[in-house]
A and B are shown apart, each in its own frame.
Chain A
Amino acid sequence: MRKVEYPPPLQELIRQLHRMPGIGPRSAERIALWMIQAPNSRPGEISDAISRCTKTVLSCRDCGFFAEGELCTICNDPSRDRSVLCVVEQPTDILPLERTGAFRGIYHALGGKLSPLNHVGPEDLRFDSLLQRIKQAAPQELILALGADVEGEATASYLSQLLAGMPLRITRLAQGLPAGLSLESADDLTISRAFTGRTEVGRS
């Protein structure tokens, strides 16, 4: 007897869902069945939302945060304080900082951290565009809001070498971000405290 499977289009949907992060084969099957069976699932809207999003949401030219046009809402906002630039590892680190309301300046996401063990070198990070922005916008202060793990430390140290001699103050968030964790997992209060107690990075 032939082994019975779902029809190929349904198998394909399950396979596509299973490619997504955090979705195992069981969950993929459950979601697929929900999409085609549940009366309120509206799969057309899901599909539209996905294609609209992948077409229109891009990286902000300046800071790397998510943007609908060339620039994100932060970089487009004239009320932001352009004299303070906050450097983060990932674009996803920006929202937790925004939620605290502790910072009114602008951001720059590097897109990662210096990590030779994961084959991420300076050429893979947005250092060049950072230098350009500093030359153009001439901020007075640069806040390094990088993770407190080894790679975050090394990235901060690399940046302070790179920027040595430039006419700007370089500060770091005060201790208090949990070691080895990205900003993504730190809570609001910890972040606000870290912002208010930032310390100057020694010029080397």
Chain B
Amino acid sequence: MLRNLSIRDFRCFTRFDLDFDPGITCIVGGNALGKTSLLEAVVILTRLQSPRTNSLAPVIRTGAKGLVVDGMVDNRHMQFDYSPKRRKLALDSVEQKDAHEYLQVARAVFFANTDIDLVRGTGEERRRFLDFLGSQFFRDYRNILRSYDKALRSRNAYLKMTPARPREVAAYTKPLIDLGQQLTELRGSLVRRLEPKAIAAFNLIGERDEQFGLEYHCGSSADFQAALAASAEEEARLRTTLVGPHRDDLLLQLSGQPAAIYASEGQQRTMAIALKVSHARLLESEFGRSPLLLLDDVFGELDIGRRNRLFATLPAGGQRIITTTSLAWLHDVPAGRLYGIKDDGARGRVLDVISPR
């Protein structure tokens, strides 16, 4: 469990410290006070990536050189210093050469009030979802993904050069195919494991008379090499790699129809939540304990029935950190710690401990 968090030069915070309850911690406050940033900081501390952006540079407070996130998870002291020039990981004050051991300490699921974009948005949203989960599920996922991305960007850089550089493009084709096939295999296996859990969560939270389906859609044909060869002509014209895992998608369906078009807003919201619940459930069943459950202002959109059923479908015993703008539903949630956050002028953002007194 996450005991505390300290952040420096993180988004709007110069410096901020916070303790957590082993059960439920709730942070209440108006918009634009940085509640989401606090949950984001928990994700960056534990997973070294933001659920909101691909790069960490925008997370650094304007005017600062770099950010620090620091916290205790169980009995491990985790610390991550990041600046565009330097990144440093430390576990129990020992600097880590690579992230493998560090990333074993804690896993997390981030429920955002923008999760409906998983259903309505572009494939990029769904790839980000799969990658965030995959990096926590498979030990090698993160390295394979990063290497694939590097191979892709390198290959595209050569495709854009004039005069054409067919030899250099071909040199990067081989690693692109090798890594792409590994990534496809991992993502396919991930979706197969996720599907029954997502369907179960959808049925529990939402309406039972509709059927939720999800399917991995490969961004090339099953034979990546052949698909790449087949796209060569168009690739030369458009000067970018057109097929591959960077075009993967997760097809979401409601009773056999594309959910982005046919599902109602309520159903889309339920699907998005079901995906996040299945994310939590999959990590729970694989690692024998619930990941950290970070819920960012998700209750406002849900009626009381769905809200209670969401709570019931989350892994029991998982530590929950919840932000909200409204206290209206708080009597339903037995928060061990309840904080109010407000802007106190010169002192910046400050926390009020509402309970326990």
Chain A interface (Cβ < 8 Å from any Cβ of B): 114-117, 121-122, 149-151, 153-155, 157-158, 161-162, 179-180
Contacts and interface: CB of A to CB of B under 8 A. Distances in A.
B157 A154 contact: no
B147 A180 contact: yes
A147 to B, nearest CB: 12
A117 B154 contact: yes
A157 B171 contact: yes
B175 A153 contact: yes
B87 interface: no
B241 to A, nearest CB: 13
A157 B154 CA distance: 14
B257 to A, nearest CB: 40
Smallest CB-CB A-B distances: 8 pairs: A158-B171, A116-B157, A153-B175, A157-B174, A157-B171, A154-B171, A154-B172, A150-B151
Which secondary structure dominates chain B's binding surface? helix
A158 B143 contact: no
Interface in B147-181: 147, 150-151, 153-154, 157-158, 161, 167-168, 170-175, 178-179
Contact of B168 (A114, A150, A179, A180): A114
Contacts, number: 54
B154 A150 contact: yes
10 contacts: A115-B154, A117-B154, A117-B157, A150-B151, A150-B172, A154-B151, A158-B167, A158-B171, A162-B167, A179-B143
Contact of A116 (B147, B154, B173, B175): B154
Contacts of B179: 150
Contact of B158 (A116, A151, A161, A180): A116
Interface of B: 143, 147, 150-151, 153-154, 157-158, 161, 167-168, 170-175, 178-179
Given A117-B153, A154-B175, A161 B167 contact: yes
A73 to B, nearest CB: 33
Contacts of B170: 157-158, 161
Nearest to A152: B175
Nearest to B157: A116
Contacts of A154: 151, 154, 171-172, 174-175
A20 to B, nearest CB: 17
Contacts of A117: 150, 153-154, 157
A153 B148 CA distance: 12
B286 to A, nearest CB: 23
Nearest to B152: A150
Contacts of B167: 122, 158, 161-162
Contacts of B178: 153
A151 B179 CA distance: 13
A47 B173 CA distance: 49
A151 B153 CA distance: 11
A73 B343 CA distance: 69
Nearest to A114: B171
Nearest to B147: A150
Contacts of A179: 143, 147
A162 B170 CA distance: 11
Contacts of A114: 168, 171-172
Given A154-B154, A157-B172, A158-B168, 14 more contacts: A116-B154, A116-B157, A116-B161, A117-B154, A150-B151, A150-B179, A153-B175, A153-B178, A154-B151, A154-B174, A154-B175, A155-B171, A161-B170, A161-B171
A155 to B, nearest CB: 7
A155 B147 CA distance: 15
A149 B147 contact: yes
A114 B175 CA distance: 13
A151 B175 CA distance: 9
A124 to B, nearest CB: 12
Most chain B CB within 10 A, of A114, A117, A153, A162, is at A153
A166 to B, nearest CB: 15
Nearest to B179: A150
A153 B168 contact: no
A77 B191 CA distance: 58
B197 to A, nearest CB: 31
A114 B179 CA distance: 18
Contacts of B161: 116
A122 to B, nearest CB: 7
Contacts of B153: 117
A127 B25 CA distance: 61
Contacts of B174: 153-154, 157
A116 B168 contact: yes
A77 B69 CA distance: 55
A149 B148 CA distance: 10
A150 B150 contact: yes
Contacts of A150: 147, 150-151, 154, 172, 175, 179
Contacts of A116: 154, 157-158, 161, 168
Nearest to B161: A116
Contacts of A155: 171
Contacts of B154: 115-117, 150-151, 154
